Amino acid sequence: AQSVTQPDIHITVSEGASLELRCNYSYGATPYLFWYVQSPGQGLQLLLKYFSGDTLVQGIKGFEAEFKRSQSSFNLRKPSVHWSDAAEYFCAVRPKAAGNKLTFGGGTRVLVKP
Amino acid sequence: EPEVTQTPSHQVTQMGQEVILRCVPISNHLYFYWYRQILGQKVEFLVSFYNNEISEKSEIFDDQFSVERPDGSNFTLKIRSTKLEDSAMYFCASRSTEGYEQYFGPGTRLTVT
């Protein structure tokens, strides 16, 4: 069955430190890949996306993600975290072949220590 | 920057009542979606809508649910007879014909008592 896994439920990071959030997917072929962020009381904001081409993609708010086909992964990174990055982060995928729906991972909640 | 809007932000209803959740997608988008997130669980797909008809729906989207685009700007989700387990955050999303990314609204928190 197709699935998206975010192994880390919670991550605590100090302000200014680097952050990496893991995402693994299980699909027959490489799907379209997305990262969304949900700040407290807010909706889901698109951070970045991968469709094809360069496997390192840049997004908003200083985030980047790297697609690794061999590992079926699409990990999100930020070199230096700000207090405002405290939020929940969701990896999502959509098959290329057919269908419209996004399948989401369980999310990773990021806490930022001063 | 254009955005998806949803009303109300919070709706409290009694079990068995009908509710209508409203969404205004981004104006030039033609694909519309509803998702829900039960507290502590994953965001789940409910339904997609294109060209005035449902293009895909999940097992969750049973006969109690319906969607409609009543005019050129609104997209609604109706739950005919709410159950306690319908309590969740409901997200509307839309996308254009040019891209694959979906843009989400802020959500409506539905509480069924």
Percent of chain A, pLDDT > 90?
82
pLDDT band at B98 (very low <50, low <70, confident <90, very high): confident
Residue A104 touches partner B, C-beta closer than 8 Å:
yes
> Per-residue pLDDT averaged across B77-96, rounded?
97
Rounded distance, CA B50 to CA A100, Å? Answer: 10
Percent of chain B, pLDDT > 70?
100
CATH topology of domain B5-108: Immunoglobulin-like (2.60.40)
B103-104/B43-50 β-pairing: unpaired
All structural domains of chain A with their residue ranges: 3-113
Number of H-type helices and E-type strands within chain B: 0, 11
* Chain A residues touching B100 at Cβ < 8 A: 32, 49, 51, 94
Measured between CA atoms, how close is B16 to chain A, in angstroms?
27
- Triad A60, A63, A68: Cα angle to 5°: 120
What pLDDT is stored for residue B94 in this prediction?
Answer: 96
CB-based contact B107:B8 (threshold 8 Å): no
Residue A98: pLDDT over 80: no
All structural domains of chain B with their residue ranges: 5-108
* Chain B residues touching A106 at Cβ < 8 A: 41-42
Rounded distance, CA A64 to CA A84, Å? Answer: 17
In three-state form (DSSP H/G/I as H, E/B as E, the rest C), the secondary structure along chain A is CCEEECCCCEEEEECCCCEEECCEEECCCCCEEEEEEECCCCCEEEEEEECCCCCEEECHHHCEEEEEHHHCEEEEEECCCCHHHCEEEEEEEECCCCCCCCEECCCEEEEEEC
Residue A44 touches partner B, C-beta closer than 8 Å:
yes
Rounded distance, CA B94 to CA B27, Å? Answer: 9
What pLDDT is stored for residue A96 in this prediction?
Answer: 81
> Per-residue pLDDT averaged across B88-93, rounded?
97
Rounded distance, CA A107 to CA A8, Å? Answer: 8
CB-based contact B97:B106 (threshold 8 Å): no
pLDDT band at A28 (very low <50, low <70, confident <90, very high): confident
What pLDDT is stored for residue A97 in this prediction?
Answer: 73
> Per-residue pLDDT averaged across A10-18, rounded?
97
Residue B111 touches partner A, C-beta closer than 8 Å:
no
Least confident of A27-41, A78-92, B28-42: A27-41
Percent of chain A, pLDDT > 70?
98
A3-113 is a CATH 3.30.70.940 domain: no
Residue B5: pLDDT over 80: yes
